[in-house]
Structure 1
């Protein structure tokens, strides 16, 4: 009996060790809100008010599977599969008539070292997302999707992913982190048609966090490669056309336990442009440039209640083409928010966004358009949202 009891005990111990060395986590976010928007362009071109139930006003609704296996010696096998969906009707978020993505937000596997960092392969975010966006009011920031810069031209709102990518992200060395990635075109005989690369670095020391990054997409506007690095068929492009470059830097200072102020500068340019993300009209020209200047702040009145605000001034430059004359549009984007946390996982929020555009030179594509809303019929748009968000 003693030997039998010992065998049972050893079996239970070894089973426990095996489970401790490997884990798979189910996680996600569900965000829904009641939204009002004015000046929404109708099918007749006139403006009208719109009341709607929206999914993902702050955080895109999603669920995912995240895994980690301890391989010994500080080495781990890691993976992440993440699906985006629309809460209103359960539809996949990253999909079009041309392509449906089951794990359209992220899909990667790799090896992670406690000493050096992680090497991962698959569909992944670039270093603009990893190092610049966290100090912004949009994207992972408190203002979320509704606070995005025009057309999310700089990818701070995480709309672009890189397919076919190999990515290395270092661990922190005295607060300093860096990374590099390359995404293949996957096209025979045309390795430079829709490939991409990104570089970035960040530094954290006490209440200060600083980040900078660069992203370049190399594309042939005349012969678009749908299987390449930049998503074409699933609607994730920030702008269609030829080569695209984005770079930026950001900084954040935290005071108290959670409150913070941040500043962001980003620049983006697309050559031989033929479309803009989220716009109701196509655009055709030699180039479209954006410079974004953002300041943001969040103050916790109580540990469970915060007030936030951000202002972004965006300068644009359109070269002109078949869809309209040259123009130098500029956007003023104001965001205010109040958020109450029932718990660490559940909160309610009220947010308002006002956008004012000038210098569009009569081109309707430069009318106001708050992210996620149908574009305005004029150069102004006001949006309010009252929502509930739960994380698991």
Structure 2
């Protein structure tokens, strides 16, 4: 843990201890996720590795509110991700400030999750208990929030009879190139008893073409190598999902389509084929007992000339309210002209890849 992180945590602790139980509140929180994994077919070999954030990215954060009167409050959230195994820090968590009003909703500004995360991801396993490795190939629809929207302004409505909605705009911050690497979208959700549904649309111009724009470059399949960092002149992601709770079982279905056009290798500038991913997922979560949960999913991803099948199972056992252990297994198979790539793992050397892992999580 470096000096900056130590000082930040120390300051956060002092802040939480000195805050009074009046109009302002500040909370220090976080999570550590570490484990071990077996991965097949990495450069023709078996890989055994220590993992960090296999379900949830490890992080620490501060969040707080201040009452302003008339049902309005100021709020903020500041998080920082890191690797438990290596100590490396990541800019993959939100930081924002805003205002919230009970009748009107919430307006926030900063580095934030997009509307796919807010209105669609909860109906996928990667956006819930499954986590990182359960993402659709290349996390092409961002259901696992591989990237956040920088320079963003986001509005989320209050719930009106179970219906809520939101919108986001992320600025390019580029002089004379207002539309270069900007993003915007809308989303909506409906919840009524055991049934919930949500949908979202996000659009981006020139993703990865400017250093300080809305989004960084995407990870997409390349021509001469399995995965490349790619810019895209245009990206559209449309997604919808629904879930239904039957006793201790939650059933869900999700569909998304992510379209990338004007694609180029960000390192060489070489043009790459435009690509569109369609993802179809079904999943189930079973709360066997108050301390044991089982989850499973199947995803079919079609990318025109290539497709992937992915199946996954997960078991979680709670040792306490804040600590649990988990085990999971994922199998992915690509079509003959593709390679398997389980999210956040090294690409397979052929069309098949297996991940078997176990780990422990602690929340504070």
TM-score, length of structure 2 as denominator length: 0.88
- Which structure 2 residues correspond to residues 335-354 of structure 1 after superposition, within 5 A? 335-354=312-331
Q: Is the 8 A contact 1:153 1:238 kept in 2?
A: no
Quote the offset at 1:259 in angstroms.
2.7
Q: Secondary structure at the match of 1:32?
A: strand
Distance 1:123 1:61 in 2: 18
Candidates 126, 144, 148, aligned match of 1:138: 126
Q: Does 1:127 align with 2:118?
A: no
Quote the offset at 1:160 in angstroms.
1.6
Distance 1:242 1:93 in 2: 26
For the pair shown, which has the larger CA radius of gyration, 1 or 2? 1
Residue in 1 aligned with 2:39?
37
Distance 2:159 2:230 in 1: 33
Structure 2 unaligned segments of length 5 or more: list them. Answer: 1-17, 219-227
Candidates 213, 227, 235, aligned match of 2:200: 213
Quote the offset at 1:231 in angstroms.
2.6
Quote the offset at 1:226 in angstroms.
1.0
Q: Is the 8 A contact 1:200 1:211 kept in 2?
A: yes
Question: CA, structure 1 residues 220+92, in 2 after alignment: closer, same or farther (shift >3 Å)?
Answer: closer
Structure 1 unaligned segments of length 5 or more: list them. Answer: 1-15, 42-46, 95-103, 318-327, 361-365
Candidates 331, 334, 341, aligned match of 2:308: 331
Superposed CA offset, 1:12-51 (max 9, x none): xxxx99632111111111101110001012xxxxx10011
Question: CA, structure 1 residues 30+158, in 2 after alignment: closer, same or farther (shift >3 Å)?
Answer: same
Residue in 2 aligned with 1:13?
none
- Which structure 2 residues correspond to residues 39-58 of structure 1 after superposition, within 5 A? 39-41=41-43, 47-58=44-55
**Structure ranking higher in strand proportion:** 2
Number of aligned residue pairs: give it.
339
Distance 1:271 1:291 in 2: 15
Q: Does 1:355 align with 2:332?
A: yes
Quote the offset at 1:275 in angstroms.
4.9
Candidates 243, 253, 272, aligned match of 2:234: 243
Q: Secondary structure at the match of 2:129?
A: coil
TM-score, length of structure 1 as denominator length: 0.82
Distance 1:39 1:359 in 2: 15
Q: Secondary structure at the match of 1:146?
A: helix
Q: Is the 8 A contact 2:265 2:272 kept in 1?
A: no
Question: CA, structure 1 residues 155+32, in 2 after alignment: closer, same or farther (shift >3 Å)?
Answer: same
